[in-house]
Amino acid sequence: MDINEFLSDNARNMKPSPIRALLNVVNQPGIISFAGGFPNPLSFPVEEIKQIMNEVLDEEGVKALQYGGTDGNAKLREEISKRYIKQGLDIDKDNIIITTASQQAIDLTARIFVNPGDTVVCGLPSYLGALQAFNSYRANIVGAEKDEELEAVVRAMCMSGKKPKFIYAIPDFQNPSGLTMTVEQRQYMVKIARKYDLLIVEDSPYREIRFEGEHQPLIATMAPERTIVLGTFSKTFVPGFRLGWVIAPKEIVYRYNLAKQSADLCSPVFDQYVAAKYLEKGYFEKNLEKTIEMYRGKRDVMLASLEKYMPEGVTWTKPDGGLFLFITLPEGYDATELFHMALEQNVAFVIGEAFFCDGTGKNTLRVNFSFMDDAGIEEGIKRLAAAVRTLFEKNGK
Amino acid sequence: MDINEFLSDNARNMKPSPIRALLNVVNQPGIISFAGGFPNPLSFPVEEIKQIMNEVLDEEGVKALQYGGTDGNAKLREEISKRYIKQGLDIDKDNIIITTASQQAIDLTARIFVNPGDTVVCGLPSYLGALQAFNSYRANIVGAEKDEELEAVVRAMCMSGKKPKFIYAIPDFQNPSGLTMTVEQRQYMVKIARKYDLLIVEDSPYREIRFEGEHQPLIATMAPERTIVLGTFSKTFVPGFRLGWVIAPKEIVYRYNLAKQSADLCSPVFDQYVAAKYLEKGYFEKNLEKTIEMYRGKRDVMLASLEKYMPEGVTWTKPDGGLFLFITLPEGYDATELFHMALEQNVAFVIGEAFFCDGTGKNTLRVNFSFMDDAGIEEGIKRLAAAVRTLFEKNGK
């Protein structure tokens, strides 16, 4: 039998993640990998988690092991809501549904709003995992390179009868660029969304990991009626519990609830009890501070190393937070070619092209600074710079 | 803004689960509920889990809290594969992908194989959560009432150009009927699947909870090339970890992997470490025995209570395992009417109609015997019998 004959059109459209496909290569011993998006394991509060797990089993017992509601643990949603209320969102716990991490939130978003061929607007570049999910629902993904282009792109789509369903944005320390939208850029996005009646999906996994500068307002505070916030514990607590959330108007949360009933009924129940208690005890804030401190240091090491080793003509972003920065080679140079040269130097990154829904960005690369230790960051950037020099020489710069 | 204007066609088709919708009503104090499908909390091995959790954190540390592979924990897949190899399946761990419990396995199955309008064949009745998931992908669900009807149904669909993609079956202690397919019925299903080139989805959440009699062969052992087995720990370990699995030929497992990358990247990592160790230590077998013992007793209490209290004309199945039995009222009586009378008696069940994709089954109801304590089972059946009598009187029997 030929399994391909049985596949749905959506399944035919599913592509393996270039990052996941690379993992086998880049995880070989001796390779310094800037490719993943893993948080640093030293940021995981193992002892606190152990203590809380024992407490949860002692206090809640079998309740923490039974099925849970599709909406998620009420105390956890309460704790999460408090954090957003402080940021100016007018919500309560029933504006929140817990998801099996942020990837499920992205996937359900596409499932709820996207028919095959429906337009979704995102940045150029934008988060690969979101592009992959939108693709798997056969969305028509259209990118805006600069924020100012947004209206032109939306208008063009509307005029061609393909009015977008939503704008997908990562306003804080974007993956992959590391950049943060200014308040003016956020206001402009809201203006366009209102003018053309679009939803905004504010994907916000890194927002709390800010090294310096002032927090910009959540887009959801500017357009609560049409903004869907996606959050996660994967970067600020632990990814292994698979816990994220969606914040939205209640009639939208209801749609996520219906979709999630079919998708997986409920998210890990025990893990939710642990997370709720972790927040409740104030451990989250304490550990987040440590994590921010750690990642700020790593970003500084990476920026200093880039400055020190990278040949002229290469540029990079200087993120105020998050896990990534984005490197641009001079026009005409190919990051895929560089990738192979870098592997020979035992260093890896993600080819930037994967983040561009229009196939551009061939001269870009994403590097992660959260995972590697400081010495590894310097050594890795040194190797990467050597690979860039080889690329330049080969291409006669 | 009107959110309905933004919904995908699939989202418009999503209906709330009648069971989940009932939970608020049936969980009120004083109500004896046979409505859920919850395992008995006394079957949860709290102390063993506590011990293992501490061991996992001590031995694996941060690894158990980091992201995991989409395919799932290798040791866990290894342990699961052993259990199926013993049953005659010729597989290794790479024929298995871990899912966020069985509901995700069902959902991904529909996502991978079902285009809107594609035919899926299931039993009459069949598991509500599967019907819901298939519906959410706008499948054309066609039911076969008796196993012998299967070929007629499949042939009719093929002749009308709607060849089914797969047959969905729960061969062991079916939800909701409690019935088990004989080996001859399994052979016949395989014959039809081969003749018409269909996949078989063997949903197998209850198989290991057998009270008496011999295990019938897994359908997958008879047609390994075209059978997809769905398994779960939700009924034999704990549902709160949200761990299930799919077993299939490797090219099919690859498709689940792609779909799961988009759906939620990976299943709860820490919970997988705990489950792997729990199996490895042999705790699973020991606890399963206890659970079987407990549920056998509960089934016996329920059967004896039905015998003792139920008025003539009412019939029910006598399951050899699992969590449910199915009650049939005399022709013409309405279980929805009974439901309201039962609530007045402070007892609840699931209206059987919800399990029939063709809208029949109006005189049927599903009752769960795993969750309630023995005294509650007898008292609940007594109340249910009183409600049936009220129904009979009102309708002049």
Query: How much is the pLDDT for B396?
Result: 78
Record: contact B269-A132, CB cut-off 8 A: no
Into how many domains does chain A fold? 2
Query: How much is the pLDDT for B397?
Result: 60
Record: contact B65-A1, CB cut-off 8 A: no
Give how far B230 is from chain A: nearest CA, Å.
14
Does B53 map to a domain?
no
Does B371 map to a domain?
yes
Nearest to B264 among A36, A101, A271 (CB): A101
Query: How much is the pLDDT for A285?
Result: 96
- pLDDT above 70 for A6: yes
Q: What is the pLDDT of residues A376-392, one digit of tens each?
A: 999 999 999 999 999 99
Q: State the average pLDDT over residues A288-312.
A: 98
Is B174 in the same domain as B289? no
Residue of chain B whose Cα is closest to the Cα of A271: B241
Query: B252 contacts in A (CB within 8 Å)?
Result: 3
Query: How much is the pLDDT for A397?
Result: 61
Query: B101 contacts in A (CB within 8 Å)?
Result: 264-265
Is B71 in the same domain as B139? yes
Helix axes B250-263, A128-136, angle to 10 degrees: 120
Element (H, E) at A368: strand A364-368
Is A143 in the same domain as A266? yes
Q: What is the pLDDT of residues B211-235, one digit of tens each?
A: 999 999 999 999 999 999 999 999 9
Residue of chain B whose Cα is closest to the Cα of A164: B6
Give how far B166 is from chain A: nearest CA, Å.
9
Does B119 map to a domain?
yes
Is B245 in the same domain as B299? no
Is A278 in the same domain as A289? no
Residue of chain B whose Cα is closest to the Cα of A139: B8
Is A274 in the same domain as A295? no
- pLDDT above 90 for A15: no
Query: How much is the pLDDT for B147?
Result: 78
Record: contact A50-B57, CB cut-off 8 A: yes
pLDDT band of residue A143 (cuts 50, 70, 90) is very high
Query: A260 contacts in B (CB within 8 Å)?
Result: none
Query: B225 contacts in A (CB within 8 Å)?
Result: 1
Nearest to B104 among A136, A252, A264 (CB): A264
Contact A88, A108 (CB under 8 A): no
Record: contact B101-A265, CB cut-off 8 A: yes
- pLDDT above 90 for A22: no
Total CB pairs under 8 A between chain A and B: 242
Within its chain, how far is the Cα of B11 from the centroid?
A: 23
Nearest to B3 among A136, A252, A267 (CB): A252
Give how far B261 is from chain A: nearest CA, Å.
8
Is A109 in the same domain as A253? yes
List all residues 6 or more positions away from B176 whose beta carbon is below 8 Å from its beta carbon. Answer: B125, B127, B128, B324, B326, B350, B352, B355, B366
- pLDDT above 80 for A19: no
Query: A242 contacts in B (CB within 8 Å)?
Result: 100, 264-269
Q: Which of A228, A257, A282 is the last residue of a domain?
A: A282
List all residues 6 or more positions away from A376 whose beta carbon is below 8 Å from its beta carbon. Answer: A32
Task: Note down the domain range covering B363.
Answer: 3-44+285-394
Mutate to test the interface with B, among A49, A106, A108, A264 (most CBs of B within 10 A): A264
CATH of the domain at B178: 3.40.640.10
Nearest to B259 among A11, A129, A255 (CB): A11
Residue of chain B whose Cα is closest to the Cα of A55: B50
Query: B107 contacts in A (CB within 8 Å)?
Result: 262-264
Is B274 in the same domain as B293? no
Record: contact A111-B10, CB cut-off 8 A: yes
Is B241 in the same domain as B364? no
Query: How much is the pLDDT for B148?
Result: 82
Does A58 map to a domain?
no
Record: contact A101-B267, CB cut-off 8 A: no
Is A239 in the same domain as A216? yes
Does B219 map to a domain?
yes
Query: How much is the pLDDT for B122?
Result: 97
Q: Which of B236, B257, B283 is the last residue of a domain?
A: B283
Nearest to B262 among A42, A132, A240 (CB): A132
Q: State the average pLDDT over residues A95-100.
A: 98
pLDDT band of residue A16 (cuts 50, 70, 90) is confident
Nearest to B46 among A46, A62, A133 (CB): A62
Residue of chain A whose Cα is closest to the Cα of B62: A41
> In this prediction, what percent of chain A has a pLDDT beyond 90?
93
Residue of chain B whose Cα is closest to the Cα of A9: B115
Nearest to B100 among A62, A225, A264 (CB): A264
Residue of chain A whose Cα is closest to the Cα of B36: A67
Q: What is the pLDDT of residues A241-288, one digit of tens each?
A: 999 999 999 999 999 999 999 999 999 999 999 999 999 999 999 999
Give how far B6 is from chain A: nearest CA, Å.
6
Is B28 in the same domain as B71? no
Mutate to test the interface with B, among A119, A265, A287, A294 (most CBs of B within 10 A): A265
Give how far A229 is from chain B: nearest CA, Å.
16
Q: How would DSSP label each residue in A263-305?
A: HTSS--HHHHHHHHHHHHTTHHHHHHHHHHHHHHHHHHHHHHH
Record: contact B258-A16, CB cut-off 8 A: yes
CATH of the domain at A372: 3.90.1150.10
Does A52 map to a domain?
no
Record: contact B8-A118, CB cut-off 8 A: yes
Q: Which of B283, B314, B333 is the last residue of a domain?
A: B283
Looking at the whole model, is its pTM more than 0.90? yes
CA neighbor of B280 nearest in space, from B92, B48, B46:
B48
Does B19 map to a domain?
yes
Does B52 map to a domain?
no
Q: State the average pLDDT over residues A355-364.
A: 96
Is B120 in the same domain as B233? yes
Give how far B331 is from chain A: nearest CA, Å.
32
Query: For chain B, which ranges sit under pLDDT 50?
Result: none
